[in-house]
Structure 1
Amino acid sequence: MGVSGSGKTTVASLLAERLGCAFQDGDDLHPRENVEKMRSGTPLTDTDRLPWLQAIAHHIDGWRERGEAGVVTCSSLKRIYRDVIVGDRRNVALVYLKGTQALIHGRLTARTSHFMPVGLLDSQFATLQEPAEEERPIVVDIGPEPARIVDAIVRRLERR
């Protein structure tokens, strides 16, 4: 989890490769209406997000039912969103890619192939509720290169 530009897709795909498991970009599960809304610069409402969050949870439950592991990306900016995706699924780990607004702004301005405009970054940080201790998050700094971030996540997963 993390705001747009925090490196979710890059880190999660590397993590899935390292763990030898499936990868799902949560953005690909957004209803078309959500993508169009964001592309136009309009932040999503909680009502807009609910079907997307439910689709991600359904994807996770499919892996779990088949006894498979996987890594899925999702901004999960609010606790109520994480409650849908993680909830009481004790075998689901939450990883929070944490970075400063200045660092992430720089990344977003350099990115050209994503539907999320830089103008929505302020609303993402305003919405962000960092995970609480009881959510058992793995919090990692996004400053290092992606491979080092993955190393840190794997070490924390192994300790669990």
Structure 2
Amino acid sequence: MSRLALAAPLLLAPILGLAACGQDAPSTPAMTPAKPVHVLTEAEKASLLAALPAPYNAGDLENGRRAFARCRSCHTIGEGGADMAGPNLYGVFGRKAGERPRYNYSNAMRTANFTWDADKLDHWLQNPRGFLPGNKMTFPGLPDAKDRRDVIAFLKVETGYKPEPAPAS
């Protein structure tokens, strides 16, 4: 028998194996694509910003994004984003303090009795240690009120905040 005849089954095996890939294979979670995340257009961001209550509706989203850059070493903001040294902030507005699932909060934060809103976040961003002594955030704060306003507007637009509908008259 020739060498080619002996080698043919060895050469064809990988090709036949590849040809069978994917046919009637059961789906596994690793193979299931992630839920697509909607990326807001500039028009959608402008519309969300305009719908915010004052003074946040006058916020500068670009300045807020730049000011928030100092926070990105510890926080993510996208839906499904990872917790880092600080928790992911998606959906933070309206969430009870210390209640993001699977994040290891300080005792001070776990036992805090408030819900995150713009006013609480403004005070927190001004001086985290003074606002809630014993928390583990090392960030010194944002002393400039305009930067805090812009960061809060930016976070409201970028973290899934849904403005309350205006009461019917």
TM-score by length of 2: 0.26
TM-score by length of 1: 0.27
In terms of fraction of residues, the more helix-rich structure is 1
Higher relative contact order (CA 8 A, sep 6+): 1
In terms of fraction of residues, the more strand-rich structure is 1
